[in-house]
Structure 1
Amino acid sequence: MLTINPVTSYSNIDGVGVITLNSPPVNALSAAVRDGIHAAALAAIADPAAHAIVLLCEGRTFIAGADIAAFGKPPTGVSLPEVQRVLEDSPKPVVAAIHGTALGGGLEVALVCHYRIAVPSARLGLPEVHLGLLPGAGGTQRLPRIVGPEAALQMMTSGVHMPAAEALHNGLLDALAPEGQLRATAIAFAQQVVAEKRPLRKIREQNDKVQAARGQPELFTRFRQSHAKQFRGFDAPEKIIQCVEAAVNLPFDEGLQRERQLFTGLVQGQQSAAQRNHFFASRQAWNIPGLAQDAATLPVQTVGIIGAGTMGAGIAMNFLNAGLPVHLVETGQEALDRGLRTIRSNYENTARKGRITPQAIEQRMALLSSSLDLQDLAQVDLVIEAVFENMAVKKELFARLDGICKPAAILASNTSALDLNEIASATARPESVIGLHFFSPANVMKLLEVVRGARTSDAVIATAMQLARKIGKVAVLVGVCPGFVGNRILAQRQREANQLILEGAMPWAVDRVLYDFGFPMGPFAMSDLAGLDLGWNKEKSSSSTLREVLCEMDRRGQKTGAGFYDYDEKRTAIPSPLVEKAIQDFARQRGVQAREVSDEEILERCIYPMINEGAKILEEGMALRASDIDVVWVNGYGWPVYHGGPMFYGERIGLPKVLAKMQEFEARWGPQFKPAKLLQELVASGRTFSDLQPAG
């Protein structure tokens, strides 16, 4: 065996030159990997005893993508196009042997090999779209030539990972190897290629599938129209479509030039910078300073959920999906039965969409038990309460659980805003109490705010973070303060949105501005969807808020066909003259003078206070880092990922501008806009949120 460099080796096995990469954790295309492939390929070509070449990887995966950390930095070592050129132009057949995942640049390397073989568990994809990019190493030109333009469009704009069996069916793979026998099978395959004198198949020369689509622009028009909602606001999907159009209509080399031009524009753009920042932020959120990576965790093999409402049922599904037994407790049989029906109905809806099998429904439901007795939770490892958001109710419940649950059990609250330390004070084991704030619908939403109390133990925190990963959540550790991180910042936006409509900006104007910014919907459309009567009591209603006024008019949201908007039979939102008059009357009664409000002011009044509140949260240590706040808002509140998150957005537009606007707003409208001390300090010192390091 010849060691090429620390991550690459070359050996000749029975007349086949085998290039082996070993660059943990995912064999990413770093400079060392690129240099190694290039040098090893030249060695194999020069080896008179090697009649074919196999490229494979050690560890858990084939090349799983580019080295994202190197984007935007000066290039070093052999370039990826040079690596591809030596493989594609090899006079000896090159076989890519794939296990784990071949993603992004990894698949683009495999696409220049003459043949591809994989184990059945392998998955292949070009997911650059998730980073605001397009495949920039020939992927947009080669993939359509092998799977066809339509399949290539779907694969690249969605970023989906194609299973090996499907890749074989689509021609992306030439053969499958038995699990655990990839090396031997790939070598045998390469020997067979030589023995049968098969041609050196270069995808760049395969034009049948792209030529068949030439002169059919409706293919692309149809694709754009059918995915318009999914692609709204994003730059990368449209550029990918343009690249595939080039693959269909231009010679290969001209298509490559077009791909490079569009890739360069994206990699230098704001959207990709924001999406790459989110990529790293999502991974950094798992890193808890002061908490060892291998911190001791507590065994959680059974879970108890108190409350079978929408939230409790959704939380239960997360654990059932992960194969953990769940015991659901309610106070009444009717509520319990309703919760059990909800869980089964959700699973049946998922099965109808083909995402799980009928057998999987029964397997998950078999893990679910239920009762009306808290005593049945005596031996569970984790209890999560999802009861009414009332401090007295929660403290009474935790006091009871303290006497019921075994000493090692974790006691968790799903509270969205209440003081976790006060809840924990009702127990004799505050170190075992933690907040697990799921977002509705809990079986769908990715975010989990893990709330650390003043006395929550490291073991409980580590266990909660580990469990979050197991159930497929994006977890962010936060501290105890009103609303924690997400809802505390949301309150700033909601306050200004409600004030703006009194000053003259109608709800549909505020919603339009925030929708155009990239949110799935504006705050008033969201209120109508959730129901304006949440927490409203007809007998106690006093017309003291606009929401109360609308509820008294029986405008309680979509469910009544009227809220801030009127709704037709398809629940299409229509601006309401009645609401406009109600707002104007309400404002007049409170002495608020109506005026023209610009779209720019709407955006600044709604967004800048969020950034400022984030700075206060960092100042108080309620979040570990600014990027954690961004992760919360992208995953839990629909902040457009191509704007990175409120804190990243604040940095992009410039913290001096944010500070100046907050000072202007404070002078004009009052102390609710008072700039955070941290914001002032950062501007004065020329630093940004990214310069802050978490304590610990």
Structure 2
Amino acid sequence: MSEREVVRFEIEDGIGVITIDNPPVNALGAGVSEGIIAAVERGEADPSVRAMVLIGAGRSFIAGADIRRFGTKRETPARRSYDVLEGSAKPVVAAIHGYALGGGLEHALCCTWRIAVPSAKLGLPEILIGIIPGGGGTQRLPRLIGAKPALEMITTGRHVPAPEAKALGILDALVEGELRAEAIAFARRIAGEPLRRIGERPPPAAEPGLFEAARKAIARKARNQTAPYHAIAAVEVATRLPLAEGLAEERRLFGELENSDEARALRYAFFAEREVARLPHLPKDLAAPEIRSIAVVGAGTMGGGIAMSCADHGLPVKLLDASPETLARGMQRIRDNYAVSVRRGSLDQAAMERRLALIQPVERYEDIADCDAVIEAVFEQLPVKQAVFAELDRVMKPGALLLTNTSAIDIDRIASATGRPEAVAGTHFFAPANVMKLFEVVEGARTAPETMAAAMRLGRAIGKISAYAGNCDGFVANRSRIPFTMEQNLMVEEGALPEQVDRVMVAFGYPMGPFAVNDLSGLDVSYQTRRRRLAEDPGYRMLPIPDRLVEMGRKGQKSGAGWYRYAPGDRTPHPDPEVHRIIREVAAEQGIAQRDFSDEEVLQRLLFGSVNEACKMIEEGKCLRASDLDVMWLNGFGFPRYRGGLMAWADGIGAREVYNQIAAWHQRYGARWAPAPLLRETAERGGLLRELKAPALR
């Protein structure tokens, strides 16, 4: 694509209009910066041009750099478009709609004026891909709005709505109406006024202790990461050095990060989350049914969270429960959850009322008959779910989607309760449903392509990341997690303590250790799953220690004790000598010798089994891509994002090393550690685990 095609220059009533036209989001790809430089120079050279406007075509201003170019060899230009814009002898007005992110906002900061439509969003989100702004954002934004608000924007990477950006001082005006015409009119008004260059402002003052406090505040969240600390350092530089020296330091810090393992992993995660939406086996021109209204069956914790997820994104939802008491409790729980958000300041009262108004409690199946889709969220037992689906088949209108939130039960057995299995799919939310981003869409043997496409679209419409899974026990996410859960419990039988396992995983980057998570979600949930699997397979390996805890009434936080003990009203896990006693007692009963574990063995025992299981699922076609599984672990299980995902992390060790260790454990522990053929093949050819694909995609 030539410069002429990505950047246009036109003159209208003495105003030069520079239009970025690089679909879909006007990223700063090849030719864009060069085109901006040429356009500015053309405007400066034309005496008829009194001022200029920088604007984006299509749906956005400039949504940032082309991320695919990071980490690649590219020449450093002698002149950068940022500097040319700021050095223009004639005023330049940045006219913003859609997004002005990263390099987009940095270009706007180099203009003399900035206006935007109220719906625009601005930000410097580079921290989210393991780098810092590299186009002067860390130096110019503090000079414009002050060190403290600039530091907050840069270290969080959040998108700032245009009205807030106006209040902060980033924008000079909000405009209604057609942006191009408004920008030209604005440029005519300010033509001839003194130029206002941010770079000419002195370093901003910073309150004492600001940067040290910022480092302490991010210490836990930024564990094992470099970029957040570099971001703080760059803003601190802006308060001490002239612009030219600050820009040089920003470039140095940026250069240290661009090719770091952290940045590469985060870029991988960024692209994996976009790739996961593609289902190559579905026709591209498939006409999927629209979902304009939805019902949720079951007003428990999960059902309420699903209803909130829909209402949060403007989708009317009917919440059905046959028990008036359960329905009332469910609605009160929803109100309480929203009220907490209002108290925290993340939601205002008016927004809470709007969302509550979208959730209609009902008690009869006939009340949901006209909904476009229904999500079942009742107790995780097949007969219960089949009874619900028989009712849904009876009342729901033709063409309605019948979706189940089951986390493990066979979709085909649920669909068999209906006369329309083609309309049935799994839509597995992760708890808490209104918070977690992962939305696993499960395809049954007779699920129609239109149903799959509509379910994938539904997830995206309610702010989730939709990911495909084939129908098998546990589907993709939970099935891949089974070896992790199994090994954490077997290691405890062999002598590791829950607090050691949790400490290792928190140090690795998880927000909580697995045993603390078990207590949070409730030990009785997995207990019921194990009982179901034992009923289906008499040889299923049970877990006697957590089983005994549940049978003693230790169900986790809800009962005040599980793997840990909890003080009333306090969620802090405290190691419990009683649990240590139970561990020793059960191990003795089972004849299991106990020993010490190194932290490295704990980490690898937990994760290598899941890597092996992932290879099996990919070969079976239940998981389309290894990168899909990485997305699931990032968004469903809290896997540290800066490590890329399970399979990307394993590549850092190497497929050969992973295979060798699994083969050794196969010799020691038996069949559960049998290496997957695809893992062996990948190790032998020196391949990358994160690039593995199902047979149909090879």
TM superposition score category, shorter chain reference = over 0.9
Query: Which residue of 1 is the match for residue 92 of structure 2?
Result: 94
> How far off is 1:689 after superposition?
3.4
Counterparts of 2:283 and 2:105, CA distance in 1: 35
C-alpha offsets along residues 622-646 of structure 1, whole Å, 9 cap, x if unaligned?
1111111011111111011101111
Alignment partners' CA distance in 2, 1:194 and 1:406? 62
Match of 1:291 among 265, 282, 286: 282
The residue that corresponds to 1:11 in the other structure is 10
Alpha-carbon distance, 1:53 to partner: 2.1
Q: What's the TM-score, normalizing by structure 1?
A: 0.94
One-letter identity of the residue aligned with 1:405: M
1:19 is paired with a residue of what secondary structure?
strand
Tell me by how many angstroms 1:430 deviates.
Answer: 1.2
Aligned-partner SS, 1:434: strand
1:160 is aligned to 2:155: no
Tell me which residue corresponds to 2:452: 461
Pair 1:134-2:129 in alignment: no
Distance verdict in 2 for CA 1:121–1:328, change over 3 Å:
closer
Residues 390-412 of structure 1 show CA distances to partners (whole Å, capped at 9, x for unaligned) of 11222232233222222211111
Measured against aligned partners, the alpha-carbon deviations of 1:156-181 in whole angstroms (never above 9, x if no partner) come to 1111122222222222122232232x
Rounded to whole Å, the distance in 2 between the matches of 1:515 and 1:87 is 46
Aligned-residue CA RMSD (Å): 2.2
More moved, 360-369 vs 269-278: 360-369
Query: C-alpha deviations, 1:458-481, integer Å up to 9, x for none?
Result: 111111111111111110011001
Instruction: For residue 276 of structure 1, report the CA deviation from its aligned partner.
Output: 0.7
Amino acid at match of 1:469: R
CA distance in structure 2 between the aligned counterparts of 1:394 and 1:589, rounded to whole angstroms: 38
Task: Tell me by how many angstroms 1:15 deviates.
Answer: 2.2
CA distance in 2, matches of 1:311, 1:656: 41
Match of 1:668 in 2: 668
* Residue 646 (structure 2) aligns with: 646
> Is the partner of 1:20 in helix, strand or coil?
strand
Instruction: Compare 401-410 and 442-451 and name the one that shifted more.
Output: 401-410
2:189 maps to which of 182, 192, 196 = 192
Structure 1 residue 377: Cα displacement: 3.1
Q: Tell me which moved more, 580-589 or 565-574.
A: 565-574
**Where does structure 2 lack aligned partners over 5 or more consecutive residues?**
532-541
Q: Structure 1 residue 484: deviation in Å?
A: 0.7
What amino acid does structure 1 have at the position aligned with 2:627?
A: S
Q: Percent identity?
A: 48
Contact 2:470 2:622 in 1 (8 A): yes
* Contact 2:342–2:349 (8 Å) recurs in 1: yes
The equivalent residue for 1:58 is 57
Instruction: Give the Cα–Cα distance (whole angstroms) in 2 for the partners of residues 177 and 535 of structure 1.
Output: 55
The CA distance in 1 between the partners of 2:77 and 2:457, in whole Å, is 38
| SS in structure 2 at match of 1:494 | helix
Question: Would you say the 8 A contact 1:120–1:179 is kept in 2?
Answer: no
CA distance in 1, matches of 2:155, 2:582: 45
How many angstroms apart in 2 are the aligned matches of 1:270 and 1:544?
37
Q: Which residue of 1 aligns with 2:39?
A: 40
Is residue 84 from structure 1 mapped to residue 82 from structure 2 by the alignment? yes
Alignment-mate amino acid for residue 672 of structure 1: R
Equivalence for 1:206 = 201
Match of 1:681, SS state, is helix
Q: SS of the residue aligned with 1:478?
A: strand
1:294-693 alignment, distance < 5 Å:
294-534=285-525, 545-569=544-568, 570-693=570-693
Q: Distance in 2 between matches of 1:407 and 1:576?
A: 55
- Give secondary structure in 1 for the equivalent of 2:191: helix
- 5 Å-filtered alignment, 1:183-262, equals 183-195=180-192, 197-198=193-194, 200-207=195-202, 210=204, 212-213=205-206, 218-262=209-253
Gaps of 5+ in 1: none
Q: Give the secondary structure class of the aligned counterpart of 2:562.
A: coil
Q: Secondary structure at the match of 2:418?
A: coil
Q: Residues 55 and 666 from structure 1, CA distance in 2 versus in 1: closer, same or farther, beyond 3 angstroms?
A: same
One-letter amino acid of the counterpart of residue 548, structure 1:
D
Bigger mean CA offset, 287-296 vs 414-423: 287-296
* Partner Cα separation in structure 2 for residue 129 and residue 642 of structure 1: 11
Gap change, CA 1:507 and 1:9, over 3 Å in 2: same
Deviation, 1:314, is: 1.1
Which amino acid in structure 2 is aligned with residue 652 of structure 1? Answer: G
How far apart, in 2, do the equivalents of 1:502 and 1:354 lie? 45
Q: From the superposition, tell whether residues 325 and 92 of structure 1 become closer, same or farther in structure 2 (CA, over 3 Å).
A: closer
Which aligned segments of 4 or more residues in structure 1 are displaced greater than 6 angstroms?
A: none
Cα displacement string for residues 26-54 of structure 1 (whole angstroms, at most 9, x for unaligned residues): 11101221121111112112212223222
Distance 2:567 2:342 in 1: 30
Cα pair 1:615 1:678 within 8 Å, conserved: yes
- Give the Cα separation in 2 of the matches to 1:189 and 1:330: 57
Deviations 1:354-396 (A, max 9, x none): 3334333333333333333223333322121111111122223
Q: Distance in 1 between matches of 2:452 and 2:134?
A: 41
Secondary structure in 2 matching 1:9? strand
Q: Is the 8 A contact 1:4 1:40 kept in 2?
A: no
Contact 1:659 1:675 in 2 (8 A): yes
Matched-pair contact (CA < 8 Å) for 2:523–2:555:
yes
CA distance in 1, matches of 2:42, 2:237: 35
How many Å apart are 1:609 and its aligned residue? Answer: 0.9
Q: Structure 1 residue 552: deviation in Å? A: 4.7
CA contact (8 A) 2:489 2:543 kept: no
**Cα separation, partners in 2 of 1:113 and 1:377, compared to 1, 3 Å:** closer
Decide which moves more: 117-126 or 605-614: 117-126
Distance 1:150 1:283 in 2: 33
Residue 428 of structure 1 and its aligned partner are, at CA, apart by 1.9
Counterpart residue type for residue 596 of structure 1: D
Instruction: Name the residue aligned to 2:171.
Output: 173
